[in-house]
Structures are given as C-alpha cells and as structure tokens.
Amino acid sequence: MMVRARVGELVESNRFQMFIVGVIVINAITLGAETSTVLEAKFGPLLTTIDHLALAIFTAELAARLYAFGWKFFKDPWNVFDFVIVGIALIPAAGPLSVLRSLRILRALRLVAMVPSMRRVVTALVRSIPGLVSLSGLLVLLVYIGGVIASNLFGDTGDPRFTGLGPTLLTLFQITTGDGWSDVMRDLMVQKPFAWIFFLIYLMVGTFTMLNLFIAVVCSAMQEEVTVPAPRSANHDDLLLMEVRALREEVRAMRQNA
C-alpha cells in the first residue's frame, strides 16, 4: 500500500506532469517532422527512435497510474481519454491497419488532459453542447424557412442556385457562412431589383444574430467554469485515501515493534 501511495504521489506531482507535457510536445514535433520528405530522409531513424521512446514513456506512465489507483483509475474521464489515445497508438500499424499510423498525432491531444486551462475550456464546451444543439436546431429551421421563401421569390429567374429547394438550401448555407453572398445578391438584382431586402434580412437574422448567440452560449459556459470551483479529481481523493491507509499501517507496525 505504501508503494502504491508513493507511485501515486509521483505521477500526480507537478514535476512529473511537466515532464509528460514536454514529452507530448516533443513527440508532436517529431510526428510533424516525419511528414517532411527532406527531414525523413535525413533524420528518419532518429525520428522513429524518439517516437518509440515517447510511446514507451506514455505506456509506462499509464501503467504506473493503473498500479497506483487500480480500477478507480477509470473513474476520471480524463484518465479514460488518455488510456484510449495511448491504446490506439499501441495498435500495430501494419497491413490493413496502416491507416492507424496517421492517428499517432492524437497523442498531442493529451495536452488537453494534462494542462488544467485546456481542460477547463473543453469542459466548458461540453457543458455548452445542450444550448448549442438547440441553437443549431433553430438555425436549421431558419435556413429551411428562408429556403422555401427564396425558392418562391427567385425560382423563376432561371438561376441554377434557386431552381429547387435543395440548391436553394445549399446556397443559403453558403450565404450564412458569409461566402460570396454579395455576388449572389447582385446576380439576382438584375431581374429582381428588390432582392437585396431578402438578403439583408436573412443575413441580419441568420448570420449576425445566430453567430452572436452561439458565442454567447459558449462564453456563458466558460464563465460558469471559471466562477464555479471544479471538484477534486478522483485520483486526488484516492491518493489521499492511500496515504491515510499507509500511515495507519506504519503506526500499527511501530506499535507492534514497541
């Protein structure tokens, strides 16, 4: 029990965490360098060695965490995230599974689990998902209504972008992203001089208003994440419990020896 507590203290220490972050950054740079034919031809064996060494360190780290915390390791979602990322990297990338070789870069995502500020951002994004889903449904409804109106208004112009509901919805989605909407409007104004009214109303509601609502939902979730103190992780609680048990065993051993 004492050994497991010491191992838990080691893997949870700030120095060890910074070491793992450094390995993640170096490994990410290495994987990027392997995409360069010049660097691969010149430093190929070195890059491969660094990659294998980084994977060995990640595997040893996870093994140490599993030994220290046991099955309680999986209570922390970030531990599960790390376990999946490293597990994917351990799958042999040969033959039909060679496509998995490109997934090695997913190890860089471990920075999200290791850096507290990144964890808070991701947690805030996850909390904002219900609101974003509702806004997405409202945006889809808005695009559909606009598509029906635009098909009726501009379908007789002969413009292939408004010949049916499908092409019209695709065009409105393009306009919602702000891509080339002025060109579409000016083309239609040749036959429909008042087409600008529809486009300005659609842009004001569909683009500016909806975009600001999306940003507001995410910012609200981030503000809650900053103001509300985050609960202690399961690893932290388990580590304290192991330390208490180890101290009890030491006290019992001292009493027996006395």
Sign of CA dihedral 228, 80, 68, 20: negative
- CB atoms inside a 10 Å sphere around CB 34: 19
Instruction: Grade residue 144 by pLDDT with cuts at 50, 70 and 90.
Output: very high
Residue pair 187/159 in contact by the 8 Å Cβ criterion = yes
The structure tokens 């060109």 sit at 183
CA angle (136 as vertex; 135, 138 as ends), nearest 5:
65
The model's pLDDT over 52-65, given as tens digits with 9 standing for 90+, comes to 898 899 899 989 98
Q: Quick: pLDDT tens for 79-100.
A: 888 888 888 777 766 555 556 6
Average pLDDT, the chain: 81
Instruction: Report d(CA 195, CA 174) in Å as an integer.
Output: 17
Which has more confidence, 171 or 208?
Answer: 171
Lowest-pLDDT range, 49-53, 73-77, 134-138, 159-163?
A: 73-77
Least confident range from 36-40, 42-46, 108-112: namely 108-112
Question: Higher model confidence: residue 148 or residue 107?
Answer: 148
Q: What is the pLDDT of residue 99?
A: 61
- Residue among 172, 180, 179 nearest 205 (CA): 172
- The pLDDT score that the predictor gives to residue 253 is 67
The closest alpha carbon to 149, from 168, 132, 134, 174, belongs to 168
CB 82 within 8 A of CB 59: no
d(CA 93, CA 113): 25
* pLDDT tens figures, 202-256: 888 877 888 788 888 888 877 776 665 544 444 555 556 666 666 666 666 666 6
Q: What is the pLDDT of residue 246?
A: 63
Residue 204: per-residue pLDDT: 87
Q: What percent of the chain has pLDDT over 70?
A: 81
Q: CB neighbours (10 Å) of residue 164?
A: 12
